[in-house]
Amino acid sequence: MGNAVAVTEQTFDTEVLKSTEPVLVDFWAAWCGPCRVIAPTVEELAIEYQGRLKVVKVDVDQNQEVAIRYGVQSIPTLMVFKDGKIVERVLGAMPKPRLVSLIQPHLA
């Protein structure tokens, strides 16, 4: 995982909800094929938007309570949080331009 930060149930509130910048959250699992397909794109976004967007990954197998709290029923689920609230939510692997179009409106 390079620039995307691994977040746990213990660090989710601090890293995501209290973040001063928008946060892209990737809910994933190691056994999930589509999660592995989208992982390089998520990592690219972490690099390209560094300083304007925080990118984090939540392993749903290890952090089930966070996944349940946000109604994650299939993975990958990607959410954009801004000021502690969900402003975008999408399911499944998708091309990079689609992800960029989701985060672009929420960047400072």
What pLDDT does residue 3 have? 87
Nearest partner of 70 among 49, 90, 100, 55, judged by Cα: 90
Residue 64 designated active-site: no
Task: Decide which of 3.40.30.10, 3.40.50.11540, 1.10.3720.10, 3.10.20.740 is the CATH code for 5-106.
Answer: 3.40.30.10
Distance CA 62, CA 100 (A): 28
Contact 46, 3 (CB under 8 A): yes
pTM above 0.85, yes or no: yes
pLDDT digits (tens, 9 = 90+) for 63-82: 999 999 999 999 999 999 99
Catalytic residue among 4, 16, 25, 35: 35
Catalytic: which of 16, 25, 32, 99? Answer: 32
- Clarify whether 57 is annotated catalytic: no
How far is residue 83's CA from residue 87's CA, in Å, rounded to a whole number?
Answer: 9
Indicate if the pLDDT at residue 19 is higher than 80.
Answer: yes
Could you tell me which residues are beta bridge partners of residue 85? 82
